[in-house]
Amino acid sequence: MKKKFGFFLLFLMLYYVNSFAQDEWKPQTHFTGYLNSIIEYSGHSNVSALGVPTEKHKGIGLAQAGFLATYKPLEKLEIKSTLVYSPWVRSLHDVVVEAFGQYTFNQGFKLGAGKFLTPLSPSNLYYYAPLNPSGVLPMVVSHHMFFPQSVSGIQITGSFGENLRMNYNVTYGNYYITDHVEGGIIGIQGQEEIVPFQGHYEVYEGNIPKSYLGGSGRLSFDFKEIGTLGLNIFEGTESNLVVLDAGTGNVSSLEEAKQRSLGVDLHLNIQKFKLNAEYWNADLKTTESVPIYSLVYKGYYAELIYDGGTLKPWLRYEYIEDAKAVFTDGSLVDLPMASYSSGIAYRPFYETIFKFEYRRCLVEKYQKTSYTNFKDYNYYLLSFVLSF
Amino acid sequence: MRKYVLLLMIVVVGITVNAQGYKVIVNQSNSTSTLSEDEISKLFLKKNTKWADGKSVDPIDQVASSGVRKVFSDGVHKKSVNAIKSYWQQTIFAGTGTPPLEKSDDDEVIKYVSQNAGAIGYVSAGANISGVKELKVSR
């Protein structure tokens, strides 16, 4: 009797909860997406992912196509998926940049499961072409040496406060490394060094990239409309470090390693100007090799954007030293570089954005290796983005 | 001279009438009576999500092609409809928010607001708003 009454009570509760939800909430669906076609030219004479000098200076074509869908069947439940194609994707794993479900218990506690864009740098979360006046991501993000583009696992996030808002995010799960993966058409975006580089790169087993285990944490503070300060950490608890053969330069071994990256980012809104800046430092150390190998990465950038409505001119400076590798004899490859860039984005309609930018890549001053033909070089990009 | 004064009066009256070519409406059960343009903007951008009594705010937009949305966007957000759409595109991609529901005309907005306690919408200045409550908008 008691059991029957319990079932009846449960049924009644579910009925009322469900009825209430139906009155207050209608499922919502959003679709958005874009096509990014570019024309690019580079003065870089050695553009090639394989390290073989080519005459591939210019390119024209579709650099990226993205499609995003969100579905909210309940007020507190959201399902989101974003697919991004580029000529450099190697498998479906690269195309699905995020696909997750998130349940909002309250603003201070949201629980999600699936694949997430690593929520450490706003530039990583906002990397889609319609959202940026520049067509090239800052190297601290595009190189993926400080943190991977996506993490697949569990995420807890939330925010507190009104005028001074504190936001937190913890994500833990599997990730795979796509460091210095090429972008654009000719493949110089993400491979700006004169010597094509891959550091602690991923290893495919058949069509499946090897996964590592790690997690990220971010604490950020929004100061009303003035700006945001973010503190970030990424721990690759199971990562790898590539050891190169001192004689041939080929990969000698992949050693178990741990990575810890620390970053700080600042975003200020001053009237119509927006200042974005990030600083990152990472430490990658083998855990089982004899001897122990370790590498330290560093990178930063600052950019100033003027929001003139349909026109957004901008300036950026960046410096990075993440193209590092260790040889079996203990010596290092070290290819730091810097760049100045400037451009303008013109958005006459919501659906259409034209971008033009110029970039000066500085390698001559920084990259001291046995290569002799190091020259600073120019890069030009004309981008046409259609979005809906 | 009188002609010029009359002309000036017509211009001033015209500007005043056009200064707010929209009405902001809420459900009749809503106790709020006045909001500033900045407060309304924050409600529609979902930066403030609660009414004073703790009820959830449910903003309702009009479709992007409607004339009243342009007037509302220019007047309240101080930004173009395209700029607001870009803002929502950014929040959708970043997963930080979704835009308000859109209704195709004044009647639909009025109907929705009359049926939902936390709703807030805007309609043309000449719309018949019986069944809902008009908010006074301060600057």
Per-residue pLDDT of chain A (388 residues; tens, 9 = 90+): 555 655 555 555 444 444 444 446 788 899 999 999 999 998 876 544 444 555 568 899 999 999 999 999 998 999 999 999 999 888 888 899 999 999 999 989 999 999 999 999 999 998 899 999 999 999 999 999 999 999 999 999 999 987 899 999 999 999 987 788 888 998 888 888 877 676 666 666 666 777 889 999 999 999 988 999 999 999 998 777 878 888 887 778 888 889 999 999 999 999 999 999 999 999 999 988 888 888 999 999 999 999 998 999 999 999 999 888 888 888 887 888 999 999 999 999 999 999 999 999 998 777 665 555 667 889 999 999 999 9
- pLDDT tens-place string over residues B23-52: 999 999 999 999 999 999 999 999 888 898
Would an 8 Å CB–CB cutoff place B101 in contact with chain A?
yes
- Sorted by sequence, the CB contacts under 8 Å of residue A387 that are 6+ apart come out as A32, A33, A34, A35, A129, A130, A350, A351, A352, A353, B89
Partner B, chain A 109-128, Cβ-Cβ below 8 Å: 122, 125-126, 128
Task: Tell me which chain A residue has its CA closest to the CA of residue B90.
Answer: A131
Q: What's the pLDDT at A89?
A: 87
Band of residue B7 on the pLDDT scale cut at 50, 70, 90: low
- What span, in angstroms and rounded, lies between the C-alpha atoms of A12 and A145? 54
Partner B, chain A 125-164, Cβ-Cβ below 8 Å: 125-126, 128, 130-131, 162
> A177-195: b or e for each residue (b if 16 or more CB lie within 10 Å)?
bbbbbbbbbbbbbbbbbbe
Do A131 and B92 lie within an 8 Å CB cutoff? Answer: no
Tokens of A173: 């799960």
- Sorted by sequence, the CB contacts under 8 Å of residue B67 that are 6+ apart come out as B124
Contacts of B99 in chain A (CB under 8 A): 30
Q: What's the pLDDT at A16?
A: 44
- pLDDT tens-place string over residues B44-96: 999 888 898 888 899 999 999 999 999 999 999 999 999 999 999 988 888 88
Q: Give, in words, the CATH class of A25-387.
A: mainly beta
Do A70 and B92 lie within an 8 Å CB cutoff? Answer: yes
Do B86 and A130 lie within an 8 Å CB cutoff? Answer: yes
Partner A, chain B 24-83, Cβ-Cβ below 8 Å: 48-49, 64, 80-83
What are the structural domain ranges in chain A?
25-387
Would an 8 Å CB–CB cutoff place B92 in contact with chain A?
yes
- Decide: helix, strand or coil at residue A121: coil
Contacts of A387 in chain B (CB under 8 A): 89
> A259-293: b or e for each residue (b if 16 or more CB lie within 10 Å)?
bbbebebebeeeeeebebbbbbebebbbeeeeeeb
Q: Whose CA is closest to A44, among A53, A36, A31? A: A53
- Specify the pairing of strand A332-334 against strand A324-327: antiparallel
Would an 8 Å CB–CB cutoff place A349 in contact with chain B?
yes
Domains of chain B in start order, with CATH, are 21-138 (3.40.190.10)
Would an 8 Å CB–CB cutoff place B98 in contact with chain A?
yes
Looking up tokens 């709703």 gives: B119
- What span, in angstroms and rounded, lies between the C-alpha atoms of A275 and A309? 16
Contacts of A98 in chain B (CB under 8 A): 95
Tokens of A32: 């958005």
ipTM: 0.76
Looking up tokens 């009188």 gives: B2
